[in-house]
Amino acid sequence: MGSFKTSVFILVLPLLEGALSNSLIRLNNNGYEGIVIAIDPNVPEDETLIQQIKDMVTQASPFLFEATEKRFYFKNVAILIPEKWKKKPEYVRPKLETYKNADVLVAEPNPPGNDDPYTEQMGTCGEKGERIYFTPEFIAGKKLHQYGRKERVFVHEWAHLRWGVFNEYNNEQKFYLSKGKREAVRCSATITGKTVVQVCQGGSCITRRCKIDQVTGLYEKGCEFIPADKQKEKASIMFAQNVDSVVAFCSEKNHNKEAPNQQNQKCNLRSIWEVIRDSEDFKTTTPMTTQPPKPTFSLLQITQRIVCLVLDKSGSMTLGDRLKRLNQAGKLFLLQTVEQGSWVGMVTFDNAAQVQSALIQINSGTDRNALTKRLPTAAAGGTSICTGLRSAFTVIRKKYPTDGAEIVLLTDGEDNTISVCFNEVKQSGAIIHTVALGPSAAKELEELSKMTGGLQTYASDQAQNNGLIDAFGALSSGNGAVSQRSIQLESRGWTLQNTQWINGTVIVDSTVGNDTLFLITWTVQPPQIRLWDPSGKLQNGFLVDTHSRMAYLQIPGTAKVGVWNYSLQASSQTLTLTVTSRASSATLPPVTVTSKMNKDTGKFPSPMVVYAKIHQGSLPILGASVTALIESENGNTVTLELLDNGAGADATKDDGIYSRYFTAYDTNGRYSVKVRALGGVQTARRRPMPQQNGARYIPGWIENGEVKWNPARREVNEDGLQGKKVCFSRTASGGSFVASNVPKAPIPDRFPPCQITDLKAKIQGESLINLTWTAPGDDYDHGRAYKYIIGISTNILDLRDKFNESVQVNTTDLIPQEASAKEVFVFKPESIAFENGTDLYIAVQAVDKVNLMSEISNIARVSLFIPAQTPPETPSPSLPCPDINVNSTIPGIHILKIMWKWLGELQLSVALG
């Protein structure tokens, strides 16, 4: 096999691009332990960065403690240091800590200039986030004016990460009408400040009062609310973390339920503190009576990857060609997946364990080929998993400590004694990835992955699903650079009847192409193989391994960009095709697809959620065709189209994270997950927008009564990413989950429609209301709901808490569409006086054919604004710090205009609330 191609990865690109987290955080006596903060390998060596991280956490801990009413603090933190940084005696080898499970990533901005701190959140209100992102410039305290002090921002992001709360500001809509008055979107509503706009022309800028849009009644575009520097209000950290007086989260006592922000939309108008109070963290703690200790830190430096394969060769491995399939998957891992420079050993086991290979460093194709020859060729005996694990520990310890080493454990057999080595596994510090093969693999197997942070996968005996190869192909390093990672472009299988040809295509896009491998497997005899590159040239040189029933071809150099065509011919057997590649360049991030389920276990009738993240660098890929294939132990496969539409299971529209509910349980036991993603002419990278789940970018601040402006966010130049459109093909393993409580067929309908989360309302004409939302389904986001119930009220809490008693709109003519379709409904409010200054609140509930009801939707609002019939007035002079109260009524504004004309340059203080 050709040798792995090494390269220096010089692009400023987070190593964790695409990764999905599996946090090690635990709460112990009010203190958070196991926090992992990782410095990306592409960050230039700078020892001061380590101290700056320590300072941030140390200062954030007492701030968090007071903000949570003396309930939580930061107890200990591990800082992951890149391998290429200088070695120091105080830097020790990590155990379970990896870049993949890091809670905070410190990476160079990508694209440059984008220093927004933010937290990736995939789930709904109250669900933990994935990861916090900071840049070195932010950690160094160089973004103080833009975001505020870093320890305060850290607590803001921690609330996103740990408790699943959302922001209380809104970059898209900064003001709203309430009872005819203009209000800034903020929490609490007693935060005071100035409403001003900066107007620049010819290099000169002035600050003036905001004009009123006579159509909407709101302020003009570009108007900003700048909080006053002197405040009495203490809340809320999720709105203005930069204000010195703000030291708490909004509670039900001061929460602004009317503000159109994410927290209200996603958390059913609940305050931040109410969501925190409902968390497991809160329920398992009581307030402390003493001050907490300062955080402690451990400095961990990444080292070379150490992997030991622990492979079952018991008698049951002879069933269903399992041993042959193990050889195929093992060879893919050894020849292609495992990274250059890694140390790899091998152990096989039945009743006893046998060392097939001590640790060998992968430096060449010769090393890889030598290991493939050690894969097991015969199977017999029983199953003793702990014996295999102990032997692997011995193999590793002959050269290295087991801390941070990885074990890939494959078994198809039952073993009731597996739990006897759980303590040894915990104490070893090793990470164990488990591969369950077939329906009888030990039921406790996944516990080994869960306790060590490893990947858990399942492969059925349906060879055409290619599950075993997918499982081994997913085992790229948790600490390897993106440019070194093996990327799966294709994974398909067919069971052929008679003599027939299978024709297909694989896209090699410009972001991949190095070390490209085409792998074909069969079950009876070698097929005819034809492969043409994008220029139409026939590719020869497939290496045929008749013993393992596989053939493979590595494309020399960098594979040509474009569509590769293949044709396979065989008779009455099963074929599979797998194509893998690596990044084409050290300066261009590859398109990556990573997938996961929201939980490791699913209990009927609770739905599961499948996620797929598709990004290129930090740019989300939009418009891709994304499909999840979920296979049960029965061998049945369900196909789900995943969506990035901000509805149903999808938390945020157009963020490159595609998702969907899974409800099609058919049996108890393991389910495997695979995702296929295709990019075509409608697929595009999106210019990064201000992060929805990050600390508020401060447009300006007040100093000595005068507004000081920050520069606007830097525009992103996409020229270095070779245009906006991208065509690609990818497949990725989403691991596995275990289902329980599934009743016998026929499965009863226990799934209601999903909650509508994107309801929007606007005034149409003088008195009509236009509603839009994404249609839910009969079962969550699948199928078609039976009917809608629309309730309206002039009291937002009455609508939320007493929806059934609200005024209901006539929906006789409103027939639900298929899930994910756009619904539009226009109605005239009746039975409610809808006049100037009226605020009307609207919510929708979906009902299915067996009368199961969804949760009440997010609450949309409209405010009727009828502009005063006054003649146009001469513009008043620009004032640097004008007096303008955002909750003033239209007559008040008219009076103020007269006052401004009369008083001239007189400056008045501003008070909101």
β-bridge mates for residue 658, sequence order = 612
CB atoms closer than 10 angstroms to residue 909:
10
Residues 6 or more apart in contact with residue 722 via CB below 8 angstroms: 510, 588
Q: Are 592 and 614 in contact (CB under 8 A)?
A: yes
Strand partners, 563: 507
**CA separation for the pair 650, 757 (Å, rounded):** 9
Q: Note the Cα 329 to chain centre separation in Å.
A: 28
Closest among 575, 688, 553 to 622, alpha carbons compared: 688
Q: What residues contact 644, with CB distance under 8 A and at least 6 apart?
A: 622, 626, 650, 653, 654, 655, 656, 657, 658, 659
In order of 334, 648, 760, 791, the CA distances from 859 in angstroms are 54, 16, 8, 10
Do 496 and 571 meet the contact criterion of CB atoms below 8 Å apart?
A: yes
Separation CA 166–CA 186 (nearest Å): 13
What are the tokens at 315? Answer: 């008698």
Strands 487-495 and 499-508: unpaired
Q: Give me the amino acid identity at 790.
A: I
Residue 660 CA to residue 643 CA, distance in Å, equals 7
CA 466-470-473 angle, to 5 degrees, is 140
> Do 231 and 186 meet the contact criterion of CB atoms below 8 Å apart?
no
Dump the DSSP string for 13-73: --TTTT-------EEETTEEE-EEEEE-TTSPP-HHHHHHHHHHHHHHHHHHHHHTTS--E
User: Is residue 718 annotated as part of the catalytic site, yes or no?
Assistant: no
260/168 Cα distance (integer angstroms) = 8
Contacts of 823 (CB under 8 A, 6+ apart): 771, 772, 773, 774, 775, 814, 816, 817
Q: Do 120 and 263 touch, CB atoms closer than 8 A?
A: no
Look at residues 82, 65, 75, 71 and name the one whose alpha carbon lies nearest to residue 31.
75
**Residue 79 in contact with residue 297, Cβ under 8 Å?**
yes
Q: Are 124 and 435 in contact (CB under 8 A)?
A: no
* CA angle 319–325–330, rounded 5-degree value: 135
Q: Which of 884, 880, 913, 881 is nearest to 899 (CA)?
A: 884
Under 8 Å CB-to-CB from 8, ≥6 apart: which residues?
586
E strand or H helix that includes residue 200: strand 193-201
Q: How far apart are the C-alpha atoms of 727 and 86, rounded to whole Å?
A: 40
Interaxial angle between packed helices 47-67 and 150-163, expressed in degrees from 0 to 180 and rounded to the nearest 10: 70
Beta 608-616 vs 591-597: how paired, if at all?
antiparallel
Under 8 Å between Cβ of 191 and 231: yes
d(CA 593, CA 10): 21
Cβ–Cβ under 8 Å, residues 446 and 456: yes
What is the distance between the terminal CA atoms of the chain, rounded to a whole angstrom?
Answer: 71
Q: Is the peptide bond before 605 cis (omega within 30 degrees of 0)?
A: yes
Chain-centre distance of CA 731, in angstroms? Answer: 17
Nearest to 185 by CA among 168, 164, 163: 168
Task: Check the CA dihedral 399-403-406-407 and report its sign.
Answer: positive
Measure the CA–CA gap between 465 and 553, rounded to whole angstroms.
Answer: 21
Q: Which of 17, 97, 120, 157 is catalytic?
A: 157
Which residues have a catalytic role annotated? 157
